[in-house]
Structure 1
Amino acid sequence: MVEPESTPAVAETAPVMEEPNLPRRSVAFIGSECHPFVKTGGLGDVMYALPRELARLNCDVRVILPRYACIPQEYQNKMIYRGEFYMDLGNTGRSYYVGIMEYIWDGVVYDFIDNEEFFSWGNPYTNLVDDIPKYCFFSKAALAALNYMNWIPDVVHCHDWQAALVPVYLRTLFKDSPVGRARSVITIHNLRFQGVYNIPTIKYWSGLPDEAFGMGALKQDWVEANMLKGGLAYADRITTVSGTYAWEIQTSDYGERLEDHLRYHSHKLRGIVNGIDYGMWNPETDPALAENYGLGNVLDHKMANKLALQKELGLEQDTGKFVIGLISRLTNQKGLDLVNAIVPQVLDGNTQVVVLGTGDKQYEDAFRAYEGSYKGTFSACIQYDEGRAHRIYAGADALLVPSRFEPCGLTQLNAMHYGTLPIVRETGGLKDTVEPYNEFNGEGNGFTFDRYDAGLLLDAINRAKSLYFNNRYHWDEVVQRDMAKDVSWEKSARQYKDLYLELTQW
């Protein structure tokens, strides 16, 4: 095997401050997306922020990603060639090229697996027919690359179904190789997506032994193979992105047909809430805002951001209006059917609603229609604009997150950090991070409802409006309490570090 190139990789930004007294562990993150290279959802944020925070906690971290053609050229140009090799794949009878391109940024090493045959598509995800071979290749190539670079981690931490075969490969085809000594963790970000296809196809592309296709592992419904199910069976630990979601996915309502499997493996299942990156989300330094503010002066400057948002979106400019933001994919999972049902009742002359996002055509059209019917009161931004999202967090008074299910949710954390009170359904990470406001003792940091019902959502909105208009002093107290709440990655990263230490005691 060829030794990797010794060319030093390009380092970006100043080195992070580490905590050298903490026990050191090496961790390889393996996943299908990572901000800023490629991102379609919350997984990209986690793959970006968690490794950087772990580096500060004295972990040696590498992130392994596919080198998609859609990665912006500014990052492609800074990648350094680390080496290449050829690898057999499944029962294809041929060898596949595996290139390794490296990029170092903020204390984290990013290794990109290069293969134009699999990763030359314009988008990271295309369709299951193409994605199954792509991620069989990626999972095996990621482990082979670690062996090739002779960088053997203590823990391999993989994410969602696209990397779910990594723990299976680790305990089968790679068990006698150097990387075989690593322990494995798999994180479920959204259980709805599992990588299910017929057994012959996945067996053909993966080359995994027959034992991996038993009912306790990959096999599902006797004729199908479920890649996520196999990863959950073979991993040493399973994590998901909130404690409540870890419990919910063991029930038939949320288990997506894996609830029995997850209950069987519940002894190794943990819930750790995500955080937000204060470098990206900080109202004191955010360049997108009309006026920056912090905990000490939020009450003086938030109104300026409200007026700027109203002007930007063509709403009536009036600081006395109660502005509700909604930043979301426009899908049923996000509770948009509930929102759609109550918009006329919410718009009472004192309230404005701002929607930002794209998704199902029925909701895009419905919100555009509301904008046409309620000019100056309702704004439908059917797009995703990162800067505008920041301005909505800063300019709105409240943020709606009425999800049918929500593994963690980041929008409610962003909102709290910007002094915008969340109105959420009590599910998953929303329940773990938002404590309902108690009008009798003033405790709590948002407004909640339990059953998935439009009337209960309307009631929660009305409770928020009642406090805003009738007791502004207590409303402002909750704003400041939310801004003071630590929703950064540090606490979450320490929990992951403890999990790695638990797995690798020596």
Structure 2
Amino acid sequence: MKKILFAASEGNPFIKTGGLADVVGALPKYIDKSLYEISIIMPLYRCIPQKFREQMKKVTHFYENMPREQEYIGIYKMEESGITYYFIDNEYYFAGDAPYHHICEDVNKFAFFSRAVLAALPQLKFCPDVIHCHDWQTGLLPMLLKVFYGENKFYQNIKTVFTIHNQKFQGRWQIDDIENCRDIPAKYRYGAMEAYGESNFLKAGILYADQVTTVSETYAREIQTPEGGEGLDGVMREVSGKLCGIINGIDEKEYDAQTDKNIPYPFGTKNIAEKKKDKKALQKEMGLKQDAKACVIAIVSRLTQQKGFELVVSVMEELLQTEHVQVVVLGTGEERFQHDFSWFAQKYPSQMCANIGYSEDKAHRIYAGADMFLMPSQFEPCGLSQLISMRYGTVPIVRETGGLKDTVEPYNEIWQTGTGFGFRNYDAGEMLFIIRYALKIYQEQPKAWKAMMKRCMKHDSSWQTVTKKYEAIYEKITS
């Protein structure tokens, strides 16, 4: 049985700021336990909820020579959903009220974390066959494994997989100001881990990992181009032979309209008309006009430019002046978008509700009660919200980029196929055109719309297919 260790900066249910935590929390559960022993290692943040901290058992602690001083490294352990979790403890780095702060602190924090993970393995008497690293926070780990431990017999057969969840975030900072990197030989500090005069943890992981993956096939192609590569397109082309895209899955048990306890009226493909009751309940909860003819367009997202909200804001006036259209927003993010959505909600209180904040229960009710889900991202490595919306028969409208292109099949009116609507260019007018086309189908072709809702609900978004692809990678690099 091969041993796989996931190394990540966050993971459900312990700490979450985005989709990375969802993947780290879900993917290991579905890997074949008869072939692989899966463990996860992450920082022991002080902000992890106390209910979890109370369940953790201390395994050991030790001190390791690092540039700042001899650093304390504590190791805690607990079981969750059949998976063994290890936690690296050091209050100097992990005592804050959030997992991430300013990048100048974070690069030093996660340089320590990567070093601590490797130093902890002999203390645990645990030698994994593969360390599966996630995003820039663990980008130094594959390089450190070869630089500092390449001649050590304990580590010699360990292989690494590095998954890029979002290439925009790279762990960039002034090289000489990162205390926990000062003992790394200059040929590496100013070589593999340097780009444009700064440190680049993501680049180090890309170059030194045995296999590089990202979270959709289209995104794997986009990051090899100047438009999508975030300055590393040349590096990505260089490693294209070991790069592949694997789309994320979602937990289909958690997002199941037939069993979801968060929604008032469960439904499935056979009684999809019940969704109308969820829509009416959502309109009431959000203070919208009780209009059965209204098409409710939902947004559940971080409110950032990456997600395309400058396009949405620019057409919101026209959209809300369209008869029988309502908009529900849930999320937090950039102040300008929070302000703009709140302003429109005040101007059109019977047609729009802006929930600035986040509630998982409320998110489920919005997914279940809405008719359409709007996700016009500027770029989107994978995206999970469009997959979730489809599970509730809520038809997505997306920009055809990254994982959105890979997961949403555009509606074909002639062949009566497709699971949503897409537009290609990052353009507000093009987005508004496709929204109006979707509204036309919704209002004038109810049978076609109902059939599309059912296709959405039948779309395979499970992790089972995904895990087979990762298992194949583990076999390839360890054989």
Residue 220 of structure 1 corresponds to 195
State the Cα distance separating 1:295 from its structure 2 match. 2.5
Q: Distance in 2 between the 1:155 and 1:56 partners?
A: 15
State the Cα distance separating 1:56 from its structure 2 match. 4.6
Please list the CA deviations of residues 329-357 of structure 1 after superposition, one character each: whole Å capped at 9, or x if unmatched: 11111000110011122221211000111
Residue 169 of structure 1 corresponds to 144
Q: 2:20 aligns with which of 40, 43, 46?
A: 43
How is 1:26-425 mapped onto 2 (pairs within 5 angstroms)? 26-56=3-33, 58-89=35-66, 91-92=67-68, 94-177=69-152, 178-202=154-178, 204-205=180-181, 207-215=183-191, 217-221=192-196, 223-297=197-271, 299-347=272-320, 348-425=322-399
Q: Distance in 1 between the 2:478 and 2:105 partners?
A: 36
Q: Is the 8 A contact 2:306 2:377 kept in 1?
A: yes
State the Cα distance separating 1:57 from its structure 2 match. 6.3
Residue 284 of structure 2 aligns to a residue whose secondary structure is: helix
Residue 31 of structure 2 aligns to a residue whose secondary structure is: helix
Code of the residue aligned with 2:315 in structure 1: it is I
Q: Is the 8 A contact 2:57 2:76 kept in 1?
A: yes
Residue 253 of structure 1 aligns to a residue whose secondary structure is: coil
Q: Distance in 2 between the 1:119 and 1:199 partners?
A: 22
Code of the residue aligned with 1:130 in structure 2: it is E
Q: Is the 8 A contact 1:236 1:268 kept in 2?
A: yes
Q: Is the 8 A contact 1:175 1:181 kept in 2?
A: no
Q: Is the 8 A contact 1:55 1:61 kept in 2?
A: no
Q: Distance in 1 between the 2:298 and 2:31 partners?
A: 32
State the Cα distance separating 1:208 from its structure 2 match. 2.0
Distance 1:440 1:323, change over 3 A: same
Q: Distance in 1 between the 2:4 and 2:182 partners?
A: 24
1:488 partnered with 2:465: no
Q: Distance in 2 between the 1:379 and 1:435 partners?
A: 29
Q: Is the 8 A contact 1:276 1:487 kept in 2?
A: yes
State the Cα distance separating 1:127 from its structure 2 match. 0.8
State the Cα distance separating 1:110 from its structure 2 match. 0.4
Code of the residue aligned with 2:303 in structure 1: it is L
State the Cα distance separating 1:206 from its structure 2 match. 5.5
1:436 partnered with 2:436: no
Gaps of 5+ in 2: none
Code of the residue aligned with 1:47 in structure 2: it is V
Q: Is the 8 A contact 2:4 2:129 kept in 1?
A: yes
State the Cα distance separating 1:201 from its structure 2 match. 2.6
Which TM-score applies when normalising by structure 2? 0.97
The sequence identity of aligned pairs, in percent, is 44
Q: Is the 8 A contact 1:437 1:446 kept in 2?
A: yes
Q: Distance in 2 between the 1:319 and 1:219 partners?
A: 57
Q: Distance in 2 between the 1:77 and 1:180 partners?
A: 36
User: Across the two proteins, how many residue pairs are aligned to each other?
Assistant: 477
Distance 1:331 1:57, change over 3 A: farther
Q: Distance in 2 between the 1:352 and 1:59 partners?
A: 48
Residue 180 of structure 1 aligns to a residue whose secondary structure is: coil
Code of the residue aligned with 1:218 in structure 2: it is M
Q: Distance in 2 between the 1:104 and 1:85 partners?
A: 22
Q: Distance in 1 between the 2:345 and 2:109 partners?
A: 42
Q: Is the 8 A contact 1:55 1:108 kept in 2?
A: no
Please list the CA deviations of residues 2-35 of structure 1 after superposition, one character each: whole Å capped at 9, or x if unmatched: xxxxxxxxxxxxxxxxxxxxxx431100010001
Q: Distance in 2 between the 1:244 and 1:143 partners?
A: 33
Structure 1 segments of 4+ aligned residues over 3 angstroms from their partners = 55-58, 202-206
Q: Distance in 2 between the 1:427 and 1:80 partners?
A: 44
Please list the CA deviations of residues 160-190 of structure 1 after superposition, one character each: whole Å capped at 9, or x if unmatched: 1111011011111122331332110111111
Q: Is the 8 A contact 1:27 1:155 kept in 2?
A: yes
Q: Is the 8 A contact 1:185 1:236 kept in 2?
A: yes
Code of the residue aligned with 2:416 in structure 1: it is G
Q: Distance in 1 between the 2:127 and 2:268 partners?
A: 43
Q: Is the 8 A contact 1:406 1:427 kept in 2?
A: yes
Q: Is the 8 A contact 2:373 2:394 kept in 1?
A: yes
Q: Is the 8 A contact 1:147 1:179 kept in 2?
A: no
State the Cα distance separating 1:55 from its structure 2 match. 4.9
Distance 1:204 1:125, change over 3 A: closer
Q: Is the 8 A contact 2:108 2:180 kept in 1?
A: no
Code of the residue aligned with 2:281 in structure 1: it is A
Q: 1:478 aligns with which of 422, 439, 452?
A: 452
Which TM-score applies when normalising by structure 1? 0.92
